[in-house]
């Protein structure tokens, strides 16, 4: 089993390799870090770490780099989560505090988290499957176009523009709006789908086409609110670290494009607003992300329950800084959304 000093050697190997992308040798460790022992002693510690499969030599006679197992030990035992600076905390509060609604706050959150970590940032929308319809509005925006606005009791506002076959008059739109609200206001999203599907029965046959178009649009809006989805930012950051992905970014980009893959991984990792969960390298192989690490934490509001926030990047990443950033943004989101729903 690795000694306490050997684990400290592992810590500096991880930190130096993350900073430089260069394999770390015993000589550089002695020169850069105050261990108070000779290079030969450090080499013995590195040999022990290699026996434990915590570090490896990428080339003959080179320094050493961490393995996935080494990163795991670092994250579980050695990572020192430094609190964000006052400037970073102020930036989070100022930037997110300017948000106009849920869509805006989540969009801002991923952009900010991507900037703080230089990784791909991911935020899962809260689950609205238990939400109820508060109001539906129909707004004419042209001779043959109508905007449908769906508002839920969780504060979610969803809009869609419908191109209809004939110009609706105000009296008909008022009647349609009244019957839609009478049918689904106070109903759950799941109940609303069926009720909207039978809406045409309440109108004359000559109006059935327009009613069906509006109903189908609202059904799609309801479905969008019931399903898990992700907001992402910072995909371009992967280009800077392409060498860390065995020279092939395609599996990572494919996983990012297919949100269902990342959502499955999120669910496998669990959810906890009190900590940051980390999945490293080969732990993600079944999701096509064997060269990547994913860091997540939960955020919450009093109305929507828990959802996930995190970052994705190469296994060679600054875990300490990234975990601190994920935790800070998740906590601020929880506080912000909790305040908005009280």
Per-residue pLDDT tens over the stretch 97-120: 888 787 888 899 999 999 999 999
| CATH 3.30.450.40 domain range(s) in the chain | 86-127+228-341
Name the fold adopted by 133-226.
Enolase-like; domain 1 (3.30.390)
| pLDDT-based confidence at residue 129 (cuts at 50, 70, 90) | low
Lowest mean pLDDT among 130-139, 246-255, 310-319: 246-255
128-154 average pLDDT score: 85
| CATH 3.30.390.60 domain range(s) in the chain | 133-226
307-324 average pLDDT score: 94
| pLDDT-based confidence at residue 341 (cuts at 50, 70, 90) | very low
**What is the maximum span of the chain, computed from C-alpha positions, in angstroms?**
91
Give 145's contacts (C-beta < 8 A, 6+ positions apart).
161, 162, 163, 164
CATH code of the region 4-78: 1.10.10.10
Residue 342 has pLDDT above 60, yes or no: no
| pLDDT-based confidence at residue 94 (cuts at 50, 70, 90) | confident
DSSP 220-247: HHHHHHHS--EEEE-TTHHHHTGGGGTT
CATH code of the region 86-127+228-341: 3.30.450.40
| CATH 1.10.10.10 domain range(s) in the chain | 4-78
For the chain, what is the mean pLDDT? Answer: 87
Give 76's contacts (C-beta < 8 A, 6+ positions apart).
none
Q: Are 92 and 110 in contact (CB under 8 A)?
A: no
Q: At how many degrees (to 10) do helices 259-269 and 250-257 cross?
A: 90
Ranges assigned E (strand) in the chain? 55-56, 65-66, 120-124, 133-142, 145-152, 157-163, 230-233, 277-280, 292-301, 305-314
Residue 130 has pLDDT above 80, yes or no: no
């Amino acid at each position: 089993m690795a000694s306490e000093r050997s684990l400290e050697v592992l810590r500096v190997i991880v930190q130096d390799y993350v900073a430089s992308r260069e394999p770390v040798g015993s000589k550089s460790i002695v020169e850069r870090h105050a261990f108070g022992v000779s290079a030969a002693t450090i080499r013995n510690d590195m040999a022990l770490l290699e026996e434990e499969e915590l570090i490896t030599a990428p080339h003959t006679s080179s320094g050493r780099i961490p393995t996935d197992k080494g990163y795991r030990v670092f994250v579980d035992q050695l990572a020192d989560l430094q609190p964000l600076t006052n400037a970073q905390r102020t930036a989070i509060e100022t930037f997110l505090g300017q948000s106009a609604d849920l869509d805006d706050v989540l969009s801002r959150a991923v952009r900010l988290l991507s900037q703080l970590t230089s990784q791909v940032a991911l935020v899962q929308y809260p689950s609205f499957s238990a939400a109820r319809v508060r109001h539906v509005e129909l707004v004419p925006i042209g001779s043959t176009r109508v905007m449908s606005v769906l508002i839920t009791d969780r504060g979610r506002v969803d809009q869609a523009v419908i191109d209809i076959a004939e110009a609706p008059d105000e009296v008909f739109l008022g009647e349609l709006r009244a019957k839609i609200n009478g049918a689904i206001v106070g109903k759950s999203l799941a109940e609303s789908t069926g009720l909207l599907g039978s809406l045409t029965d309440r109108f004359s046959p000559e109006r059935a086409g327009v009613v069906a178009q509006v109903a189908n649009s609202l059904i799609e809006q309801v479905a969008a609110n019931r399903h898990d989805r992700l907001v992402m930012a910072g995909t371009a950051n992967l280009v800077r670290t392409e060498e860390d992905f065995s020279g092939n970014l395609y599996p990572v980009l494919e996983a990012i494009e297919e949100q269902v893959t990342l959502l499955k991984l999120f669910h496998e990792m669990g959810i906890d607003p009190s900590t940051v969960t980390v999945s490293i390298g080969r732990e993600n192989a079944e999701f096509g992300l064997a060269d990547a690490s994913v860091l997540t934490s939960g955020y919450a509001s009093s109305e929507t329950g828990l959802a996930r926030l995190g970052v994705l990047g190469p296994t060679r990443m600054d875990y300490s800084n990234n975990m601190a950033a994920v935790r800070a943004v998740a906590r601020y989101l929880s506080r912000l959304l909790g305040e908005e729903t009280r």
